[in-house]
Amino acid sequence: MIIIITPDEFKRVSQATREDGRAPDEIRPLKIEAGILERADGSSYLELGGNKILVAVYGPREAQIKRLQRPDRAVIRCRYNMAPFSVEERKRPGPDRRSVEISKITAEALRPALILERFPRSVIDVFIEVLEAEGGTRCAGITAASVALADAGMPMKDMVVACAAGKVNGRIVLDLSEEEDKRGEADMPVAILPRNKEITLLQSDGNLTQEEFEEALDLAIKGCLKINKIQKEALKKKYGE
Per-chain mean pLDDT for the chain: 90
Lowest average pLDDT, out of 56-70, 97-111, 201-215, goes to 56-70
Q: Which domain range does residue 147 map to? A: 24-236
Residue 9 lies in a domain: no
Residues 191 and 220: their CA atoms lie apart, in Å, by: 9
Is residue 76 pLDDT above 70, yes or no?
A: yes
pLDDT value at 190 more than 80 = yes
158: how many CB neighbours lie within 10 A of its CB?
16
Domain for residue 217, yes or no? Answer: yes
**d(C-alpha 130, C-alpha 87), whole Å:** 10
Q: Which CATH number is 122's domain given? A: 3.30.230.70
pLDDT > 70: percent of the chain: 90
Judge contact between 183 and 168, C-beta under 8 A.
yes
Q: Number of structural domains, the chain?
A: 1
Q: Is residue 128 part of a domain?
A: yes
Spatial CA neighbour of 162 closest among 188, 124, 126, 125: 188
Confidence of residue 89 (pLDDT cuts 50, 70, 90): low
Residue 11, pLDDT > 50, answer no
Closest among 168, 196, 163, 193 to 182, alpha carbons compared: 168
Pairwise CA distance, residues 6 & 42, whole Å: 56
**Residue 65: what pLDDT?**
76
Give a yes or no: residue 41 inside a domain: yes
Per-residue pLDDT band for 87 (boundaries 50, 70, 90) equals confident
Does 152 reside within a domain? yes
What HEC string does the chain produce?
A: CCCCCCHHHHHHHHCCCCCCCCCCCCCCCEEEEECCCCCCCEEEEEEECCEEEEEEEEEEEECCCHHHCECCECEEEEEEEECCCCCCCCCCCCCCHHHHHHHHHHHHHHHHHECHHHCCCEEEEEEEEEEECCCCHHHHHHHHHHHHHHHCCCCECCCCEEEEEEEECCEEEECCCHHHHHHCCEEEEEEEECCCCEEEEECCEECCCHHHHHHHHHHHHHHHHHHHHHHHHHHHHHHCC
pLDDT tier, 85 (very low <50, low <70, confident <90, very high otherwise): confident
Tell me, yes or no, whether 1 lies in a domain.
Answer: no
| Residue 122 in domain | yes
Mean pLDDT, residues 175-194 taken together: 95
Average pLDDT over residues 116-120: 94
Tell me whether residue 4 is in a domain. no
Q: Which amino acid is at 33?
A: E
